[in-house]
Amino acid sequence: MAVVLQDFSWKRMIEAVEAVRERACRATAALQRAGIPYAVAGGNAVAAWVARVDRAAVRNTQDVDILVRRSDFDAVKVALESVRFVYHLIDGIDCFIDGLNGSPRDAVHLIFAGEKVRPTNPLPAADVTDAVPAEEYTVLSLEALVRMSLNSFGREDRMHLRDLLDVCLLDNSWPARLSPEHAARLQQLIDDPDS
């Protein structure tokens, strides 16, 4: 497949960031109108926390991860479809693509509260009650966000944890608050940030 290069453009870069914000706000507003408890998780939640300390350290994330309860799935589906999202099950992940021509790369991904995202995760995901209000939507509390990132501990999760470490939202006191497996994973990043 041939790659088609567009012109270099600040406008295109800014539009990409704005598109994520618009998608997150549209999805969460629909959930709020429907009275469905939720929390933004993943990279956008990390960015929200990092921005509270140093906006220059914020890393943009294309997809939007939203934590909901499985018992609310039918209501979530109705709410998100009412604002132009299209449901798909992709590689076992419940996603809502942004419109008929949308891409899985910039979808809304559901994470189910109290369930393991992957069978190999040491602990289940947080509950939607473990969240705090932000300017435009509700985000996971810092502790719940850290636990979920340590739980998955994939490449992106380690990057998110490094971002939190870099702005001193995490430090050497945190491993004592965590389960032994999570504590070992965080200590690994503290001791060797490039690991």
Please count the other Cβ atoms lying within 10 Å of the Cβ belonging to residue 82.
11
Residue 127, classified by CB atoms within 10 Å of its CB into exposed (0-12), middle (13-18) or buried (19+), is: middle
78 in a structural domain:
yes
What confidence score (pLDDT) does residue 1 get? 80
Q: How far is CA 180 from CA 157, 172, 177, in A?
A: 18, 14, 9
61 in a structural domain:
yes
100 in a structural domain:
yes
CATH of the domain at 133: 3.30.460
Judged against a pLDDT cut of 90, whether residue 175 lies above it is answered with yes
Q: Is 72 helix (H, G, I), strand (E, B) or coil?
A: helix
7 in a structural domain:
no
Confidence at 194, pLDDT banded by 50, 70, 90: confident
Question: pTM of the predicted model, to two decimals?
Answer: 0.93
What confidence score (pLDDT) does residue 18 get? 93
72 in a structural domain:
yes
Judged against a pLDDT cut of 80, whether residue 193 lies above it is answered with no
- 95: β partners: 88, 109
43 in a structural domain:
yes
Mean pLDDT of the chain: 94
1 in a structural domain:
no
How many structural domains does the chain have?
Answer: 1
- Name which residue leads in pLDDT, 118 or 161: 161
- Parent domain of 95: 12-141
